[in-house]
Structure 1
């Protein structure tokens, strides 16, 4: 293994050993035992990582903690608004799947479109950024609502539940059933709801460091009756969602 690979292996130990903030840290012996490297190699490796700011060593306990350089970098990444963090991923995903992509946030009982990413597939009707749509009548809205408990969802609507599309959940009980399905798979699907001839597949991501939740969505022409979602859309959306969720520590996707 290269020095970089060994350094990465050391940093991964903080995760695999469950070492979080407030934990004393990793010992020299922990690293030797887990990496199966000679003590001399580990000694040089840890010294280099400490010098470069990747690790810090407590003067009393001699245990290693995550260094200031990594903390500064991660703090900067996690402080970026979630909409901005996911946008590069959605740009690429829209191009790969040829679908129109969206990033939206929950606003009361509605979702607000924050970003739109045109795909190569021509859609006659698109929903521009700034648009408000009923959350319960969209795939992306239900993906976000599924993050709440049934009690919180019922309280959010406060008895004022109505639908405009015959393809949307007709009442609160049906909505809760749909949300339960979303919680099981992480995926939310809408077929000819907000727009006739348009289907959408959506997920949601939570950034606990900023207490933000966004929905990610791909829209495409509705499949003909009896046909499945076009190949690559589901797989691509899940892959992107998991990739971002892992970086943010979103346990919903672990």
Structure 2
């Protein structure tokens, strides 16, 4: 493993719940030797990737990383369009939304839009979910051919709940439905009591791909609400895909989705 990939591995230890970490924390999370981890943290601090919190022994991501993140968002036409669309959908539907990306077998939210309902779903930005057991993840996995999906889960396939896909074949059947309808749905899977609808779009020029997802409590969502959310997400995805030249977007060939719990 190179020093760059090792440093990236350290940065992945940070999350919304773990905004500051000590040497002991990083050692426990990575399972790496304390001596080499200590040297790595010092090198990352000297390079401007990390900074210490006051006079403590806690580390946090540096201002440089924050600035780079802002530049990424500002320079991404796809991200800007996705945020604009999802902001409108959340305002109309009242439920929370996320713009997310896939990292291997996991997905991670980059942008969160809080719903206005008193009972709403909120997952911290940076928290990772299983791609196979989330609407966001399946919207992104559906863009891969089946053999690539099988290869991705060849050595590991987690099953977080009875409502999540139980096998890779089960997952592939659900991905086929996403490709048919353009819409991905989860129902009480990775996050118990939570449902979601999602679509995925991409920018072929930059190879960026994002998922736009609206989440809600399964106990309170109505059939009419889900239809409104689904139609808005599909229409928005088609609009973005047309502008960006994303011919793989499944919303362009969407059929009538058979949604759960309705």
Match of 1:98 in 2: 94
Mapped to 1, the partners of 2:140 and 2:175 lie a distance apart of 9
Mapped to 1, the partners of 2:126 and 2:194 lie a distance apart of 19
Match of 1:127 in 2: 123
Mapped to 1, the partners of 2:220 and 2:106 lie a distance apart of 29
CA contact (8 A) 1:97 1:236 kept: no
Q: Secondary structure at the match of 2:223?
A: coil
Alignment of 1:1-150 (within 5 A): 80-123=76-119, 125-150=121-146
Correspondence for 2:206 among 198, 210, 213: 210
Mapped to 2, the partners of 1:238 and 1:223 lie a distance apart of 24
Matched positions, count: 176
Instruction: State the shift of 1:172 in Å.
Output: 0.6
- Structure 2: 5+ residue stretches without partners: 1-74, 253-262
Correspondence for 1:171 among 152, 156, 167: 167
Q: Secondary structure at the match of 1:87?
A: helix
Mapped to 2, the partners of 1:140 and 1:90 lie a distance apart of 13
Instruction: State the shift of 1:161 in Å.
Output: 0.8
CA contact (8 A) 2:96 2:121 kept: no
Mapped to 2, the partners of 1:81 and 1:158 lie a distance apart of 34
Match of 2:228 in 1: 232
Mapped to 2, the partners of 1:82 and 1:163 lie a distance apart of 32
Mapped to 2, the partners of 1:103 and 1:191 lie a distance apart of 19
Query: Residues 125 and 93 from structure 1, CA distance in 2 versus in 1: closer, same or farther, beyond 3 angstroms?
Result: closer
Instruction: State the shift of 1:250 in Å.
Output: 1.3
- Structure 1: 5+ residue stretches without partners: 1-78
Could you give the per-residue CA deviations for residues 127-182 of structure 1, whole angstroms, max 9, x where no partner exists? Answer: 12111111001001000000000100111122311211111001111001111111
Mapped to 2, the partners of 1:193 and 1:99 lie a distance apart of 18
Q: Normalising by structure 1, what TM-score?
A: 0.65
CA contact (8 A) 2:101 2:107 kept: yes
Mapped to 1, the partners of 2:88 and 2:229 lie a distance apart of 12
CA contact (8 A) 1:223 1:229 kept: no
Query: Residues 149 and 217 from structure 1, CA distance in 2 versus in 1: closer, same or farther, beyond 3 angstroms?
Result: same
Q: Does 1:186 align with 2:182?
A: yes
Which of these two proteins has the greater Rg computed from alpha carbons? 1
In the TM superposition, structure 1's runs of 4+ consecutive aligned residues that sit over 4 Å from their partners are none
Mapped to 1, the partners of 2:154 and 2:99 lie a distance apart of 26
Q: CA RMSD in A?
A: 2.1
Match of 1:75 in 2: none
Q: Normalising by structure 2, what TM-score?
A: 0.63
Match of 1:248 in 2: 244
Mapped to 2, the partners of 1:96 and 1:116 lie a distance apart of 15
